[in-house]
Each structure stands twice: as C-alpha cells, then as structure tokens.
Amino acid sequence: MSIELTGFLSSIRTTIDVVKGFQSTYSSIQIMEAKTELLERLIGIQSTALSLQQEHSALINEKNELQKKFIEFDSWKETESSYRLIDLDKGKFVYALKSPQLSSEPNHWLCQNCFNDRKKSILQAIFVNDFDEMYVCNRCKSYLSLH
C-alpha cells in the first residue's frame, strides 16, 4: 500500500471518527433535549394531576358541607314544625311548643331572634317573682322582661 493511499484511508478513517463523534455528540444533545422535554412534560402532568387532586379534594369538602347543611336543614325543619310564634305581652315574641303535652322536654320558650337564625336557644329565667319576669337568651344575649 502506498503512502498516499495509507494517508487517504487514514484521513477517511479520521473523518468517519469525527462524523461518528459528531453523531454521538448530536445524539447526546438530542437525547438531552428529549430528556429535558420529557421532564418538562412530566412536571406539567404532575402539576395538572396535583391541581386536579386539589380540585377533587375541594369538591369532596364542598359535598360534605352540603350534606351537613342538608342534614341540619332537615333537622331544623322538624324542630321548626314543633314550635309556634306567640306574643307574650305587647309585641314580646317567643317561640313556644305547639303541643307541650306531647314533648319529652319540659315546657320552655325559644328566643325568637335565634329561632330566625335556625338556632334553638331556650330562654333562661334570671328573675321571676309574682310581678316581674326576666329571661335571657344565652346565645344572642337578648333579654325579655315581662310585667
């Protein structure tokens, strides 16, 4: 083999090695870019999954709150139907049991203010004698004085 041919083949081999090196480098860059893009997409998917999970959790909480309110509403309707508004003395209103004889509770009055807020608050006697009566609602702190 002549020196020229040996040099040429050597030069081709060197060029092929350089091209292989370029391909190897190019492939590595492509792989890096693909990895980066894949990682970005995975982060995006993870972020979306996290958002959906938070949304799902919020919806579950909302559903539980609505169920709780529905149960409270149902319970209140039953309570509400057991009472009627009465005028004790010139516009001093309370709610009283419709049928105290059928109730398992002792006879009592409910605060009209709290009743309107769907809360059952029994008026407490703080002063009672033959002439005067004073009642307080421990929930809203309103007073009712009867003479």
Residues contributing to the site for Zn ion (CB under 5 A): 111, 113-114, 121, 137, 139-140
Cβ proximity to Zn ion: between 8 and 143 the closer is: 143
Give the number of other Cβ atoms within 10 Å of residue 99's Cβ. 8
To Zn ion, the closest distance from the beta carbon of 46 in angstroms equals 51
Closest CA to 73 of 112, 110, 111, 118: 118
The tokens of 90 are what? Answer: 């010139």
To Zn ion, the closest distance from the beta carbon of 44 in angstroms equals 54
Cβ proximity to Zn ion: between 94 and 111 the closer is: 111
Supply the DSSP symbol for 89.
Answer: S
Report the distance separating Cα 52 and Cα 95, nearest Å. Answer: 48
State which H helix or E strand residue 100 sits in: none
To Zn ion, the closest distance from the beta carbon of 141 in angstroms equals 7
Cβ proximity to Zn ion: between 6 and 116 the closer is: 116
Cβ proximity to Zn ion: between 60 and 140 the closer is: 140
To Zn ion, the closest distance from the beta carbon of 140 in angstroms equals 3
CA angle 111/113/118 to nearest 5° reads 90
